[in-house]
Amino acid sequence: MVKEIDRAGIPVTHICTVVPISLTIGANRIVPAVGIPYPLGDPTKGEKKSHEIREHLVTRALKALTVPVDKQTVFEEDF
């Protein structure tokens, strides 16, 4: 679905737990998540830390929307 939305001219960032799958489906902007059971947090680190992780990933995804891309790009680190 992210590929089709992007093709319609609406930039999309795909937050995912398995980057190779996102690459296979053709997502252009990919932000790796934490892990399969909890992609946007880590319950073992408590609610406050989990919230910080979530906020960090969503912020990275929003920044990725502002970057023009002409090929698949994985945004692993802050930029």
What is the per-residue pLDDT across 6-57, written as a single tens digit (0 to 9) for each?
A: 889 999 999 999 999 999 999 999 999 999 999 998 889 999 999 999 999 9
Residue 4 CA, chain-centre distance (Å), reads 17
* pLDDT score, position 19: 96
Q: Which two tokens stand for residue 76?
A: 């692993």
Compute φ and ψ for 5, nearest 5 degrees: -65, -45
Residue 79 confidence (pLDDT) above 80? no
* pLDDT score, position 52: 94
Domain boundaries, the chain: 2-68
Sign of the C-alpha dihedral computed for residues 17, 19, 20 and 26 taken in this order: positive
Bridge-based pairing of strands 73-74 and 29-32 is parallel
